Amino acid sequence: MAGITDSAFRQICRSCGADVVYSEMASATALYFKPQKTLELVRFKKTERPYVVQLFGKDPAHFAKAAKIITKKIKPDGLDINFGCPAKKVFAHGSGCALMPQKNWREK
């Protein structure tokens, strides 16, 4: 839902009865190396709560640092690691549903 689930869309969803709303997919790698632009992408208004930030990526170290940054600076109600996106662009990068078949993912 990149490019779609922005703040305006989330506010409309909440006003129509959504119990929880999610951010656009945010890159854990972008947060790891240069977080400012991605932090702007995932900012939200209090009226959007409960709000969950959705992260994508492939490197466990990047997810760990991204989670710390998001938790400290954005303070969402939850974090979601995307393991299901089948988009070719995301899959080719090794993210989304490409993470599912990896064995020993935690050991990387």
Annotated active-site residue 97? The verdict is no
97 close to 89: Cβ distance less than 8 angstroms: no
Residue 84 identity (one-letter amino acid): G
The whole-angstrom distance between residue 21's C-alpha and the CA centroid of its chain comes to 12
Q: Which of 13, 16, 85, 97 is catalytic?
A: 85
Catalytic residues: 85
